[in-house]
């Protein structure tokens, strides 16, 4: 470790160092990472040195920037923290270049003065690179598609210790694999991607009382099927705790949120939302014209780490009986321990084939399903078994697949759900070619 430390511009932090806990912390406080050491990279050279050292020492390598993708303990691995790679440059002609430590909020704020917008996720505190390499499912995706389809170039350190600039022309196999394959083929140090011209949105959320859950969900089911590509929507069954920042009408009670983002003009968005507004009287109506940079308010995702359990599926359909099944197991009378049970509408631009093929599969799915429960007493022991019940109730309409980024997971079963057999076979082949020693075998979506 001392020999590695001498070759770094950044720092090498080992267990016992006061900064070790800070650098290994993830967003899911239920997972405690225990790597052998952490390299806090200050430049791409540090990543090269760390990977080269790990290969020579036969240590597995993992990578983390914001910690949102932490899914296992990384026991004995060399963890590379890329959070200090914070370059963020927005070009007024419509594209951006960011380092691997940049979060979406930085890009949103840098793009806003130019009337430009990145295809960020619902939580602007999430890192750009981890989100994009896993596909990138965002609040305006039915209009603009997956974030990974907007990538122009990636700078990546592969398992053989080489820093490469990857484009569709220069390294077609790596360019295919890194867009959807997450960390399977290397550690991204920088990324370049196209922006869209979208200075504002007609967007927000409608919140309804739990007593209206059946009415709202059945209306949402029929309404969402009529929406054009300008609209992206989701619906969530919420049981938010009475904590600071949670609005009083929602705190400590069962409610339903309908999220809505419209990329067209406000009057047409208001007309499109009207049938949903009329379903019941909202407790809160927060849909309005907002700056694109404020799109985090649509989902209002939590910004602080907490111990959670997540379970996810993709659905091919949502008939009336599927809504009834979901309400039976997770509705206001079900005694659900989940904080959130959410359905997101897909289709639209999500279903389009990319101009340049990528490793992102399951573009034909109709909906995502996710459950999120907080692992604190007295419900901690009930969360995971109940999530299994929700998945079982929705199994007749599930595809059996999952998105790489939604509900972080590891292991062969999750790999088989995230990728079709041909995609997984090709990912393994590409990873083996550029990582012959199998250095990149720790963390989320390692393929061997």
**C-beta separation of 10 from 42 below 8 A:** yes
Provide the H-helix boundaries in 233-375: 266-277, 296-299, 320-330
240 within 8 A of 246, measured Cβ to Cβ: yes
In degrees and rounded to multiples of 5, residue 327 shows phi and psi of: -65, -35
Helix ranges (DSSP H) in 333-405: 380-394
The pLDDT confidence band at residue 73, using thresholds 50, 70 and 90, is confident
Rounded to whole angstroms, how far apart are CA atoms 179 and 131? 10
User: Tens digit of pLDDT for each residue in 108-142?
Assistant: 999 999 999 999 999 999 999 999 999 999 999 99
Give the pLDDT band (50/70/90) at residue 446: low
Average pLDDT of the segment spanning 195-210: 98
Length of the chain counted residue by residue: 448
Angle, vertex CA 2, rays to CA 6 and CA 27, nearest 5? 90
DSSP-based helix, strand, coil % in the chain, nearest 5: 35, 25, 45
HEC letters along 11-57:
EEECCCCCCHHHHHCCCECCCCCCCCEEEECCCHHHHHHHHHHHHHH
Residue 421 CB partners (closer than 8 Å, separation 6+): none
pLDDT of residue 444: 59
Percent over 90 (pLDDT), the chain = 86
Residue 302 pLDDT:
81
The pLDDT of residue 210: 97
Strand residues in 263-414 grouped as ranges (E): 284-285, 288-291, 308-315, 340-345, 367-374
Residues 6+ apart with CB under 8 A from 410: 71, 72, 443, 444, 445, 446
CA dist 168 to 46, 121, 132, 151, 160, Å?
26, 24, 16, 10, 20
Tens digit of pLDDT for each residue in 247-282?
Answer: 999 999 999 999 999 999 999 999 999 999 999 999
Q: How many CA atoms within 13 Å lie on the side-chain side of 117?
A: 25
- The contacts of residue 27 (CB under 8 Å, 6+ apart) are 66, 67, 68, 70, 305
Contact criterion met (CB below 8 Å) for 65 and 82: yes
Question: For the segment 2-25, what is each residue's pLDDT rounded down to a tens digit?
Answer: 999 999 999 999 999 999 999 998
Q: Is cis: bond before 293, omega within 30 of 0?
A: no
Bridge partners, 153 (sequence order): 192
- Strands 116-117 and 196-197: what pairing? antiparallel
| pLDDT higher than threshold 70 for residue 382 | yes
* pLDDT above 80 for 408: no
Q: The whole model's pTM is what?
A: 0.94
Three-state secondary-structure class, residue 141:
helix
Query: Does 222 score more than 80 pLDDT?
Result: yes
Percent of the chain at pLDDT > 70 equals 98
Q: Tell whether the model's pLDDT for residue 368 goes beyond 80.
A: yes
d(CA 193, CA 191): 7
Residue 165 has, within 13 A of its CA and on its CB side, a CA count of 5
Cβ contacts of residue 244 below 8 Å, gap of 6+?
Answer: none
Q: Is residue 80 over pLDDT 90? A: yes
Q: What is the pLDDT of residue 447?
A: 65
pLDDT of residue 67: 81
Helix, strand or coil, per DSSP, at residue 160:
coil
Under 8 Å between Cβ of 344 and 299: no
What structural domains does the chain harbor? 2-81 (3.30.43.10), 88-197+420-434 (3.30.465.10), 200-397 (3.40.462.20)
d(C-alpha 210, C-alpha 107), whole Å: 36
Residue position matching structure tokens 């200050």:
42
Residue with the bigger pLDDT between 305 and 35: it is 35
What is the DSSP secondary-structure string of 170-195?
T-HHHHHHHTTSGGGS-EEEEEEEE-
């Amino acid at each position: 470790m001392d020999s590695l430390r001498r070759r770094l511009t950044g720092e090498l932090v080992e267990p016992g160092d006061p900064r070790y806990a800070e650098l290994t912390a993830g967003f899911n406080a239920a997972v405690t990472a225990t790597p052998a050491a952490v390299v806090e990279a200050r430049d791409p050279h540090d990543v090269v040195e760390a990977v080269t050292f790990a290969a020579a020492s036969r240590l597995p390598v993992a990578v983390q920037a914001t910690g949102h993708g932490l899914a296992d303990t990384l026991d004995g691995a060399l963890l590379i923290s890329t959070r200090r790679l914070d370059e963020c440059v927005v070009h007024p002609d419509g594209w951006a270049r960011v380092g691997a430590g940049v979060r979406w909020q930085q890009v949103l704020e840098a793009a806003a003065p130019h009337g430009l917008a990145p295809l960020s996720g619902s939580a602007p505190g999430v890192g750009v690179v981890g989100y994009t390499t896993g596909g990138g499912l965002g609040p305006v995706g039915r209009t603009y598609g997956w974030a990974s389809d907007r990538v122009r170039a990636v700078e990546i350190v592969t398992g053989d210790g080489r820093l490469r600039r990857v484009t569709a022309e220069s390294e077609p196999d790596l360019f295919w694999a890194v867009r959807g394959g997450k960390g399977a083929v290397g550690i991204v140090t920088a990324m370049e991607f196209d922006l869209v011209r979208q200075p504002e949105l007609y967007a927000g959320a409608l919140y309804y009382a739990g007593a209206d859950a059946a009415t709202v969900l059945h209306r949402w089911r029929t309404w969402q099927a009529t929406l054009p590509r300008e609209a992206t929507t989701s619906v969530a069954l919420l049981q938010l705790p009475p904590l600071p920042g949670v609005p009083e009408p929602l705190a400590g009670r069962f409610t339903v949120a309908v999220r809505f983002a419209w990329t067209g003009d406000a009057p047409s968005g208001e007309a499109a939302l009207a049938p949903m507004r009329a379903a019941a009287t909202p407790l809160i109506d927060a849909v309005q014209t907002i700056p694109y940079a404020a799109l985090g308010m649509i989902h209002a995702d939590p910004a602080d780490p907490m111990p959670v359990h997540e379970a996810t599926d993709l659905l091919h359909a949502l008939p009336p009986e599927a809504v009834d099944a979901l309400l039976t197991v997770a509705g206001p009378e079900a005694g659900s321990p989940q904080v959130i049970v959410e359905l997101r509408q897909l289709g639209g631009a999500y279903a389009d084939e990319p101009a340049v093929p990528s490793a992102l599969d399951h573009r034909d799915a109709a909906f995502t399903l996710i459950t999120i429960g907080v692992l604190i007493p007295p419900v901690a022991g009930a969360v995971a078994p109940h999530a299994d019940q929700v998945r079982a109730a929705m199994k007749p309409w599930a595809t059996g697949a999952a998105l790489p980024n939604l509900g972080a997971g590891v292991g062969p079963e999750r790999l088989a759900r995230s990728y079709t057999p041909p995609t997984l076979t090709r990912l393994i082949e590409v990873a083996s070619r550029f990582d012959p020693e199998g250095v990149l075998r720790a963390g989320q979506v390692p393929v061997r």
